[in-house]
Structure 1
Amino acid sequence: MATLAFLGAAQQVTGSCYLIETGEHRLLLECGIRQGTDRRDDEDEQPFSFDPRTIDSVIISHTHLDHSGMVPLLVKSGYDGPVYTTSATRDLLPIMYRDAASLILSDYERKNRRLLRAGKEPETPPYDMEDVEQALQLIVGINYGIKQQVCPEIQLRFRDAGHVLGSAIVELWIAAEEGNRKLVFSGDLGNDCAPLLSDPEVIAEADILLLESTYGERNHRPLSETLEEFKKVIETAANKGGNILIPSFAVGRTQDLIYWLGQLKREGGLDSHTVYIDSPMAIKVSDVYSRHQSLFNDDDPDFRQFIKQGWDRWLPGLVYTPTPEESMELNTLNDGAIIIAGSGMCTGGRILHHLKHNLWLPNTHVVIVGYQAQGTLGRALVDGISQVKIYGEEISVKAKIHTLGGFSAHAGQDQLIRWASNFQPKRPHLFLIHGEPEAMDVLQQRLIQDYQWDAYIPSLGEVITL
């Protein structure tokens, strides 16, 4: 009997993880970290609800850590099989994993210094750089559209999801005693306004569909309105002084921002500002994007010609600040800086230092350009918090906070439904995953009322028969 267990991102957004068992074999679909309030109280002691040594294969849809970030810990815990992903994701994961490990080790060094001063025993990091390098040896890159046998009873094919470079919709053909079943996992579906990547590929057949619902309760603002608001923020900062801080994901969002800022530069909208990419990881990721231009859409052929010589050719005056010293120098700037830094949800990284130095200034603008999970600093800023603690210091929030939803790399409600409606003439059994409960409920009701499609919302840990 083949079964599917919802072990993560079930009535949650982060921590994607689904276990497929066919009787003889076990396949793990996604292995992501939990962020914000999605984290379990016992997660550090019991990161997995299964024995990693019993898993035969792992499939990762894309590079974002809430889908892939637990793989090094899985390997440390005994997993030694293949990790299947797309070829572009294979090139991005070394950057993501090494950066994540570096941050974890730095955090534990600081934490252990405090523990030792308090007379307590130091703690061991969950994994180290050696575990990362071992995990990277297991990654198998597969191009879009190629079928691959990943278990004796399971075949895999990746399709372009249009979310970030290398992101995939996952098709699985599962052989079981009850008969063959085709499972489609949407992964994270891209916003069809994305400037660089193609729209999500259309799929028409499935028996079971796992559909993400990050923005299941609403549509994004039109891109034209978002760009207009972005221009006004830049104009206001130019007229009144102050810096613009943009917390941004290193994969996808930073590259989109460089594109849009390059467009604004050509229109004369950036004459008073210098753009800084203050993220070593984003700088490396941009280089991978440049090497995979065959995956870009054809909407702006001039763009491809420019970035063959470097992203700064598209956005003249673009400044990279890879070293800690260069990053710290940015805190001496009083105005005229647009600083793009990670992490995208303000949970770590260099953006925290810039927020610490700028949040209390009323002429600072913080531009939120991506999803902010519950329990993160980014979400607190969006919700209007007036006081935050950064590195142990209380900071008053006087800066102006702007949320620009049109830049999202996720599909909105209408886009999700439009993509799912391609499954014709037979509708698959539909399960909503990867969303907050409120978003799932709204999407479920619309599917029932407008399309007579009964979508099921699984609970965390629930197991279904395929």
Structure 2
Amino acid sequence: MLTSPALGTILLDCGMHQGGSWERRTQQEAFLFNPLSIDAVVLSHAHLDHSGMLPKLVHEGFTGPIYCADATADLLQIMLLDSVGIYLGDLERENRQRARKGKSLLEPSYTEEDVHATLSQCITKNYGEAFNLTEDGHVTFHDAGHILGSAIVEITFSERNKRKTLVFSGDLGNKSAVLMNDPAILTQADVVLMEGTYGDRNHRSIEDTVEQLITILEDTQKRGGNIMIPAFAVGRTQELLFYLGQLHHRGLLENWQVILDSPMAIEVTKVYDRWFDSLDNDEIEQATPSVHSLLKDFIPRLFLSVTPENSMAINKIKQGAIILAGSGMCTGGRIRHHFKQRIWDSRNTIIFCGFQAKGTLGRLLVDGKSMIKIFNDSYAVKAQIETLGGFSAHAGQLELIEWVSNFQSNPRIILVHGDPEALDCLSQKLWDEKGIESEIPILDQSIAF
């Protein structure tokens, strides 16, 4: 949150925590401020850990503008409508249990009407075009290269006859991501709020990652198994489809059926197709010429599983299926149903392609949990667990250090958005390697500049 007489009170993103029950998480989220005090929201991108609490903010009285990049609004509609459906379904199940126990029922923290109100409050802007928040303050979005529509936020305003600039990185993209442009470079700021999701490690090269994927395909095929990939609907799914399409054109998918079992990911991929011209087309053309759609003919044996009946039919496939299903951290969605059918079978493989937050089922599996609970039943984890680091949509440690090192104005660096261990490691690396001091704020801390 940024407060200034020149700007009013501006909220930078409004996301939900990851992990745990969707219903309990949403019910327990509480704002540390009065939503009525917010004059505007500036949204960096559509991922739910940055946008998921916007409907609750609106439900509690926020009526101001929500500024975002053009493509973000397209994705936001899909993601918020999907999330409210999951939330209300979880809440309904919780209330049935409470009713049986004679407990009072819970009221929803927000509804579908709040989602539609949220979307109606969105005002979209292009990259690189400054727009006024107030007479003395303006905002410019720059391409963050993370997902479609992701933005680095630059806010400039006057206070006490002094011009000040705050830069909020949002989530910075992985420079090896084939569909995304590299994050924009900025050089001037008084304060930089930078994410540190991967502040403690770097990603494998994309070349090594693709070779690892090929090896996993070969090994799983020899075992007569299937592959399950918990799919982040925005960004990761589209990158995976691209590289699977490349493998098809190399003749390496002849014995595999690719299944996209996520209605939301299907709709998001359609949005990516509509914005294809804004993606990193030079790199796309170099990698695979004349690709203009991720859904049409790029992977001939791609099956789009939309209905519950489609999804249940996948259970009949004995081997040779690559199943991409939500959610990416296994906190909900159809991937958990596929785990029920296959996680106990050592012929199968689960591939994780992105960050798994603490408290999520995905994190438990990556950490080597041998028994898990799904829908209150216990399952032995016998499937092979693999992690592909190169497909991450986030900048790794070296890229974060490189990005922030471009600032020439010696700004104050504030590290945000990452596990404490990752932020601590990044802070130390910045000092040891670049002599850059940085701060890690605590919850509800105020920073004056």
TM-score interval, normalised by the smaller of the two chains: over 0.9
How many Å apart are 1:65 and its aligned residue? Answer: 0.3
CA–CA distance in structure 2, aligned partners of residues 346 and 455 of structure 1: 33
Note if 1:89 corresponds to 2:72.
yes
How many Å apart are 1:152 and its aligned residue? Answer: 3.9
AA partner of residue 141 (structure 1): T
CA–CA distance in structure 2, aligned partners of residues 175 and 234 of structure 1: 57
2:246 — aligned with what?
263
CA–CA distance in structure 1, aligned partners of residues 203 and 138 of structure 2: 35
The correspondence for 1:332, drawn from 316, 323, 342, is 316
2:392 — aligned with what?
408
TM, length-normalised to structure 1: 0.92
2:334 — aligned with what?
350
The correspondence for 2:376, drawn from 382, 389, 392, is 392
Residues 102 and 410 from structure 1, CA distance in 2 versus in 1: closer, same or farther, beyond 3 angstroms?
same
2:292 — aligned with what?
307
CA–CA distance in structure 1, aligned partners of residues 169 and 29 of structure 2: 28
Flag structure 2 segments of 5+ consecutive residues without an equivalent: none
Residues 240 and 43 from structure 1, CA distance in 2 versus in 1: closer, same or farther, beyond 3 angstroms?
closer
- 1:31-74 deviation digits (Å, cap 9, x = unpaired): 000113799x9973562111111111001000100001111110
CA–CA distance in structure 2, aligned partners of residues 48 and 304 of structure 1: 48
2:86 — aligned with what?
103
Q: Contact between 2:4 and 2:159, CA under 8 Å: does it hold in 1?
A: no
1:236 — aligned with what?
219
CA–CA distance in structure 2, aligned partners of residues 288 and 90 of structure 1: 11
CA–CA distance in structure 1, aligned partners of residues 3 and 177 of structure 2: 32
2:446 — aligned with what?
463
The correspondence for 1:35, drawn from 18, 21, 32, is 18
How many Å apart are 1:105 and its aligned residue? Answer: 1.2
AA partner of residue 193 (structure 2): L
Q: Contact between 1:241 and 1:336, CA under 8 Å: does it hold in 2?
A: yes
1:222 — aligned with what?
205
- 1:227-280 deviation digits (Å, cap 9, x = unpaired): 111111111121111110000110000000000000011111111110000000
The SS at the match of 1:388 is strand
Residues 321 and 45 from structure 1, CA distance in 2 versus in 1: closer, same or farther, beyond 3 angstroms?
closer
Flag structure 1 segments of 5+ consecutive residues without an equivalent: 1-17
AA partner of residue 59 (structure 2): K
AA partner of residue 190 (structure 1): G
The correspondence for 2:153, drawn from 156, 167, 170, is 170
AA partner of residue 107 (structure 1): D
The SS at the match of 1:312 is coil
How many Å apart are 1:410 and its aligned residue? Answer: 0.4
The SS at the match of 1:150 is strand
- 1:13-46 deviation digits (Å, cap 9, x = unpaired): xxxxx3434377111011000113799x997356
1:376 — aligned with what?
360
The SS at the match of 1:63 is coil
Q: Contact between 1:237 and 1:365, CA under 8 Å: does it hold in 2?
A: yes
Q: How many residues align?
A: 446
Mapping for residues 82-161 of structure 1, pairs under 5 Å: 82-161=65-144
How many Å apart are 1:124 and its aligned residue? Answer: 2.1
CA–CA distance in structure 2, aligned partners of residues 154 and 372 of structure 1: 37
Q: Contact between 1:248 and 1:254, CA under 8 Å: does it hold in 2?
A: yes
Percent sequence identity over matched residues? Answer: 46
Residues 399 and 42 from structure 1, CA distance in 2 versus in 1: closer, same or farther, beyond 3 angstroms?
closer
1:198 — aligned with what?
181
CA–CA distance in structure 2, aligned partners of residues 117 and 151 of structure 1: 53
Q: Contact between 1:274 and 1:337, CA under 8 Å: does it hold in 2?
A: yes
How many Å apart are 1:213 and its aligned residue? Answer: 0.7
CA–CA distance in structure 2, aligned partners of residues 353 and 22 of structure 1: 52
User: Which of 402-411 and 108-117 deviates more?
Assistant: 108-117
TM, length-normalised to structure 2: 0.96
Larger RCO (CA under 8 A, 6+ residues apart): 1
